Structure 1
Amino acid sequence: MQVYLIRHSEPTYQQVTSAGLTGFGRELGGLTDRGIILAQQCAQQPLFAQVQLILSSPYTRALQTALEIVRFNDVPLKVELGLHEWLPDQTGTRTDTDEQAGQAYKLYRQHMGERTAASPLPYESAAEIKAQVLATFSKYAASYDCIACVTHGEVMRQFGDHNDVDYCGVRVITVD
């Protein structure tokens, strides 16, 4: 199965910051006006003529990007939890501040995606990200030849050269 990985468009956290949301509440941030335009431009790419299904991360910025794509293309949309952003706290029991999440990401990058036994923060490892995404895709491999997936930069780094991906950037992978 061919999969077009698409990074969500440009987010804004102004509204969630104004509301005083921290930790996972930050994931409720939507797109900037420019982000909406970028998503609309992405939606007009010829690749969507091949796409039979669009999967989206449940985070607002990904869902809003996927919404703009399906507005321009007659393709069904399904939300998949397994396509979520990297987790600075995979236990889900803490409410991390931006500083704690930043510290977790710094450790994640320093250890090249590995979580060491001595890590003070229970962040999600690169191997865990890739395994959950592949498990998600495996549910669709027998039924679809080509899907698109609106997800996050860190997810996309697991399927390529580990470089940053632009907003609405696309990577193509093959999943058996």
Structure 2
Amino acid sequence: MKVVFIRHGKTDYSLADARQMSQLEKDYAPLQRACIPNIQALASHPSLQQAEIILSSPYTRALQTAEILNRQLQNPLFVEHDLREWQADVKGSYIPLSERDRRWLEYRELFANGNEVTNAGYESATNLLRRVSAVLDSYQTYSTIAVVAHFNVIEAIVGYREQGIEYGEIIEFDYQPSQ
């Protein structure tokens, strides 16, 4: 199955930051309006023209990106909870931004080296891969799917990318279902 990953557009956190919202509340932040034309232009990408469906993370930045693409592509759009962002705290507790950043940097370093800590308090690379793969496996009857998601979700499937993944970047991947 061909998976066309699209990283969501750049998010506008200005209102959330001004109101000192929690991370959970920040997940509702919309796209920056200036990036919307760039997302609209992605719909003409040849690999997206082949997509039969669009899957999206439930976070606003991904959903809004998927909806913009879907206006032009006119494909069925499915929201998948397990395409959500990497979990900085597996208990769902509030953690200070400095601790979240520390955990993120530790996760990235371990992921880059093919290692992980299973009891670090954050989601392991193995668990992230497992939940994302389960979603993709459930759509294996399609030949090409578009997936609008987050940096970590995409990287869990395509592998570590030292240069990162840009907002609105498209990455094509030949996915082999695990089942």
Same fold, TM exceeding 0.5?
yes
Question: Structure 1: how far apart are the matches of 2:97 and 2:43?
Answer: 31
Listed as ranges, the matches of 1:57-76 within 5 Å are 57-76=57-76
Partner of 2:154: 156
Partner of 1:27: 27
Partner of 1:97: 96
- Matched to 2:85, the amino acid is E
Question: Structure 1: how far apart are the matches of 2:48 and 2:23?
Answer: 34
Aligned to 2:68, the other structure's residue is in SS state helix
Question: Structure 1: how far apart are the matches of 2:79 and 2:12?
Answer: 21
Deviation at 1:157, TM superposition (A): 1.6
Deviation at 1:29, TM superposition (A): 1.5
Question: Structure 1: how far apart are the matches of 2:149 and 2:22?
Answer: 21
Listed as ranges, the matches of 1:34-53 within 5 Å are 34-53=34-53
RMSD (Å) for aligned C-alpha atoms: 1.6
- Matched to 2:95, the amino acid is D
After TM superposition, the score normalised by the length of structure 1 is 0.90
Question: Structure 2: how far apart are the matches of 1:161 and 1:21?
Answer: 30
Question: Structure 1: how far apart are the matches of 2:102 and 2:84?
Answer: 19
Question: Structure 2: how far apart are the matches of 1:85 and 1:130?
Answer: 12
Contact 1:22–1:97 (8 Å) recurs in 2: no
Q: Deviations over 1:49-106 (max 9, x none)?
A: 21110000001110111011001111111000111111101221x1123222112112
- Matched to 2:7, the amino acid is R
Runs of 5+ in structure 2 lacking a partner?
Answer: none
Contact 2:43–2:49 (8 Å) recurs in 1: no
Runs of 5+ in structure 1 lacking a partner?
Answer: none
Aligned to 2:27, the other structure's residue is in SS state helix
Question: Structure 2: how far apart are the matches of 1:20 and 1:3?
Answer: 37
Question: Structure 2: how far apart are the matches of 1:4 and 1:110?
Answer: 26
- Whether 1:133 aligns to 2:146 is no
Alignment: residue pair count: 171
- Matched to 2:145, the amino acid is I
Aligned to 2:147, the other structure's residue is in SS state strand
Post-superposition, which runs of at least 4 consecutive aligned residues in structure 1 deviate over 4 A? Answer: none
Partner of 2:3: 3
Deviation at 1:116, TM superposition (A): 4.7
Question: Structure 1: how far apart are the matches of 2:104 and 2:166?
Answer: 19
After TM superposition, the score normalised by the length of structure 2 is 0.88
Contact 2:57–2:149 (8 Å) recurs in 1: yes
Aligned to 1:111, the other structure's residue is in SS state helix
